[in-house]
Structures are given as C-alpha cells and as structure tokens.
Structure 1
C-alpha cells in the first residue's frame, strides 16, 4: 500500500461568477480545478495542472473572464465534465486516500454543493487542511489573510496569474510548505 501521508493534494477552484448577483436560473459552477502535490518531506511541488471544466448550470461571464482569464472559448475547446474531473482526482491523485488542502473553506464548500447538485460522488477523503486558518494561527495574526497577503507576509513572490486555479494551487503549496517547515 502506498504511503498516503507522503504528499498533500493542494486544490484551488475557480468558478463562474458575476459582478453582483447571479443571473436568474444560474448557479456558480467550478470551471477550473487547480491542483498540485506537495511532498511533505522535501517541499517539492509536482503534478501542477489546471483542469478546465464545462459549467452545467451557468455561463462564463465577461466579468469572470476578466477576473480569471478563463474564456468561454477555452472552456469549449479544453473543458471536460465535472464528473470526469472528479474521476481524474480520484485516479491520478488518490484524492480519496490523501490529505488535501485549500486556502479557506470556499473550495471545500463549492465541491460539496456541486457534487450534491449534480449527483457526483465527493472526490475527497475526510482529511482537509484549511491553509488560510492554519497560516493565521501559526503567524498569530488578528485575522485571516488572503492568499496574496500571506505570500507577501512570507516574502514569497506570487507565481503566475492570481485567480487561475493552476497558479493559485502552486502558490498555496508554497505557503503550506513554509507553515510545515517553520
């Protein structure tokens, strides 16, 4: 049996969003799952990728594209179903057996809501690390910081594009690694 505590799965999702309330009949859908593995012993970050997902209950708005850089065309050309993305997490990342982490509770809650709404099995096991809270506690902060603020406190440059899941997952892994080694 593989050592399932050797690596932590880092997840960051981007979802359909609007300036203001969602349009009538639309629900926020995950459109990108950013993922990577953090080696607990070495701090090495591997298997970093973004899985684009075709939204089933909404459209990618111009506001959403402006925030994430994810366009409807990118989704149409490269996107897969949410169910297929969850299968990739289970098979390629052993997501039901490994500890997983995200920055805040949003990603966990969005997965729970979307899995329930679409009848897709939750792809993760019970062990979740909220890096946002852990970072605030570790650094004795008065309030939780956003990811960019946490990177600034640690004097780590932000890699890539903020609000792209693939890049944010990598940056979150750097924050978690620092928390684990300090």
Structure 2
C-alpha cells in the first residue's frame, strides 16, 4: 500500500466530513454461512439474500474535538434463520444466547433513532457499502422506518483507497497499515466500529496538519 496519502484527496475527505458536527461510524455483523475446512459440499443454510443483522456497533466521533463521545451496541434477533451457523459463531464470536435474548430489528431501529436525536448535525459511514445495503435489506424485511433516515452517508473504504491509491482491503489491515494497534476482536460490530472511528480520527488529524 502507498504509505503517503494523496494530500488533495485527504483534504477533500476532511472538507466533506467537517461540514458536520458528528460522525457515526457503523459496523454490522449478520447471519451467514460458509463451508468450513474440509467440510463436504452442501447447500448453504443462509444465502446471501437471507442475511440478517445480528449486531449493530456504532461509535460517535465529535468532529470538532476528534474524540469518540459515545459507543452504542445492540444484538439483534434474526427471524429468517434464528439459529446461528457454526461458521457465523466462529467468525463473529456472537453466541446463540446473545441473539436469543435480543430484540428484533424493528425494535433496535427505534433505539438507534432515539440515539440520533442527540446528534442532529451528523453523517454516518462504514467500511465498504455492505453495511448500508444490509441495513436497507433489514428495513425492507422488517417493514419499518429507515434506521438512519435522511443522514448523509460516506463509504470510508472507498475514501481510504483513493487517499492511499490502494486496492480494496479489509478493515483491520487498513487500520494497522496506518500504524494503529487493533483494539478488540475483528468481525465484532462494536470493536470494528471503534477501530473505524480511530481510523477516521487519525485521517482527520493528518488532514488538519497539512491544511
């Protein structure tokens, strides 16, 4: 990966984000399935169009102070495939008991909506467009109001790849390439959201140093 940022693109990133007061760094985990190791071929229990969010992680960054001012995490109970696959539990470390005790998506969406009332001038971002697409699918399936209505969205992975002229990569490798230590477990919504917030903070610090 190119270690030095494109300063013009970094400034563009900072200018766009700084029009807001807060940034919500969001990461989801969802039901999923995949063949493990030498497992015999079989039909996947959870198809790509059947994935449901099972964890929402959210870190709120104050764009004036560049501090993470709030963390939000909720498990979500899946409906289509309520039993997590071995692959899913291995990937995310989310336990069956965690989702069994959780609320369904529409109820968690109301909690997120209540949280947003505290941050009227905000945008949200995720690592890649998957999270935005998954939330849209969850909203459609649950027949509920959009979870982040009318809020500007930013694909942070795309911005990162433009700034560093690099191909698409995972969140953890991208974080560590900046010299940041990874905090927590990879592929956990709350931990990924926290690390994404740390990345955004560092990029904004770099941009403001050269502005």
Structures share fold, TM-score greater than 0.5: yes
Is it true that 1:9 corresponds to 2:24 in the alignment? yes
**What runs of 5+ residues in structure 1 fail to find an aligned partner?**
none
Q: 1:22 to 1:47 in 2, by over 3 A?
A: farther
Is it true that 1:103 corresponds to 2:132 in the alignment? no
Q: 2:157 aligns with which of 94, 111, 132?
A: 132
Q: Secondary structure at the match of 1:19?
A: coil
Is it true that 1:89 corresponds to 2:104 in the alignment? no
Output the CA distance in 1 between the equivalents of 2:169 and 2:203.
14
How far the C-alpha of 1:163 sits from its partner, in A, is: 0.6
Runs of 4+ with >6 A deviation: none
The one of the two structures with greater contact order (alpha-carbon pairs below 8 A, sep at least 6) is: 2
**What runs of 5+ residues in structure 2 fail to find an aligned partner?**
1-18, 36-42, 207-211
**Greater Rg, structure 1 or structure 2?**
2
Match of 1:118 in 2: 142
TM-score, normalised with respect to structure 1: 0.89
Q: Secondary structure at the match of 1:99?
A: strand
Give 1:1-182 correspondences, 5 Å limit. 5-20=20-35, 22-23=44-45, 27-58=50-81, 59-77=83-101, 79-94=102-117, 98-124=122-148, 125-141=150-166, 143-182=167-206
Aligned length: 177
How far the C-alpha of 1:62 sits from its partner, in A, is: 1.4
TM-score, normalised with respect to structure 2: 0.78
Q: 1:109 to 1:97 in 2, by over 3 A?
A: farther
Q: What is the RMSD computed on CA atoms of the aligned residues?
A: 2.0
